[in-house]
Structure 1
């Protein structure tokens, strides 16, 4: 039986293997140090050093959620920190619940959906122009605002920009003067992306949410088509049906009566009306000629008409 002696390892024969090993180690190190998308960081119990940005607090899934520099979760019975979710270089400004999920609006214009039960980050979506509007960039007097005033402005605007709608499947709306967007919470899918006409702007301050829709008013200047003065209107957004348009005056005001109906006050000429956001139709007024034939009749009972006492 013949045998071959073991190959003697020389520096020349080792170099290729070392080169391959170094490449693999460099790749592994680069992967380990790869920046986390969107700067996401989840800290386990004891990792909170939050100083709340707002006094906002919500109870869900057996947790108390607070907006600190990120999303902070605490045991409501003991006050013990459960976990925190942060994003590098960003501050959470406002929180709203969409079904079982917590939706967070950040100062860099990002919107994030988080599942509190297992602190899973479900999706991120960027809203163009949101960060600039939150900071008030380009507005009259913006340069004179202090850092504290800019932060306070961002918190106030975040609270009127983010809306969640529970029916029929939870979804999220973001409203700014120049853009409104709607996302399905189940997967973050963009369902609409709407900008006002060139001479109009949306008004987040007057925007109203019900359990079925978000109603966004707009104010217009100048003239519209046919040289008629453009006053404004209201757009109603839903994900399970087409949107609708309501013509209004320039100073229309809205108020949610319940989870379905909205009171619309439109000045002395157009008057007051009730809109049903579930039926996507106006509610007929008590005693009106159209009440019998109305698609949406008044809820509850109407007062009995007062008999004419005569002369």
Structure 2
């Protein structure tokens, strides 16, 4: 029999450590082992989902990078309307005093053709026919994406001259050969659409502003009347005598005594 101070000899068995009260701990039951395995599996699945979410590409290929955060003292407000420019494959807001970029916005595989400042918005037209609206002050978010179907080939040939035009009361006109679509800048709401007449096509690069009215060239080879080659629009739609506005009745969109029409409106070709 071993004494308390004696050493264990080779091959002798050590006693298992005793649990509380000097008794050996009981092994986990099969039910406990199953619950533990399920818990570990759930944790592993959650980690895999988190990694997959981080690796998922951003919608529309968006890549928005903030550069100027932390460069301004806390008590110095950022300018609300920094200048904008396109630089290669990005839209960029920059500091007018230093020329340094404040934020840049890119879309993977696409390049911006034009950028249009509109109060707190940076509206850009891209080569694949997408129109985007980025928060202009700090570039914190891309708020909207609007597609122009079937325009990518035309944009590749004609670039973007005249496609983006601001109208009165915070309206954005997007002019393509087939149609004029007008959106409200504040929320991106589509207000009205004017299709080109059969046999005619709008020419965005040949649009000029006259006061609150935008005159858009609309060549019509089959028409002899010179008036068929020109259309006048403003934020309410086609300018014509005794017209009813094409807006959907929001405040500030009434024109004269005519009541506004409800809903989004497609204007008949004129």
TM-score normalised over the length of structure 1: 0.58
Per the alignment, do residues 67 and 6 of structure 1 end up closer, same or farther by CA in structure 2, a change over 3 Å counting? Answer: farther
Gaps of 5+ in 2: 1-24, 69-78, 242-254, 257-270
Q: Please state which structure has a larger fraction of its residues in helix.
A: 1
Structure 2 equivalent of residue 67 of structure 1:
86
How far apart in 1 are the matches of 2:27 and 2:213? 77
* Candidates 64, 87, 110, aligned match of 1:90: 110
Aligned partners of 1:40 and 1:85 also within 8 Å: yes
Using the TM superposition, name which of 90-99 and 73-82 deviates more: 73-82
Per the alignment, do residues 7 and 197 of structure 1 end up closer, same or farther by CA in structure 2, a change over 3 Å counting? Answer: farther
Structure 1 equivalent of residue 155 of structure 2:
134
Per the alignment, do residues 77 and 182 of structure 1 end up closer, same or farther by CA in structure 2, a change over 3 Å counting? Answer: same
1:33 correspondence with 2:37? no
Per the alignment, do residues 201 and 19 of structure 1 end up closer, same or farther by CA in structure 2, a change over 3 Å counting? Answer: same
User: Which structure ranks higher in relative contact order (CA pairs < 8 Å, sequence separation ≥ 6)?
Assistant: 2
Question: RMSD of the alignment, in Å?
Answer: 2.9
Larger Rg: 2
How far apart in 2 are the matches of 1:113 and 1:182? 14
How far does the alpha carbon of each residue in 1:110-161 deviate from its partner, in whole angstroms, 9 at most, with x for none?
111222212132211111222221113xxxxxxxxxxxxxxxx42xxx1221
Structure 1 equivalent of residue 73 of structure 2:
none
> In the TM superposition, what are the counterparts of 1:83-162 in structure 2 within 5 Å?
83-119=103-139, 120-136=141-157, 153-154=158-159, 158-162=160-164
How far does the alpha carbon of each residue in 1:285-307 deviate from its partner, in whole angstroms, 9 at most, with x for none?
xxxxxxxxxxxxxxxxxxxxxxx
How far does the alpha carbon of each residue in 1:87-131 deviate from its partner, in whole angstroms, 9 at most, with x for none?
111111111222332211111111112222121322111112222
TM-score normalised over the length of structure 2: 0.66
How far does the alpha carbon of each residue in 1:21-73 deviate from its partner, in whole angstroms, 9 at most, with x for none?
23222222222222212222122328xxxxxxxxxxxxx74633221121112
Aligned to 1:85, what secondary structure does the other structure show? strand
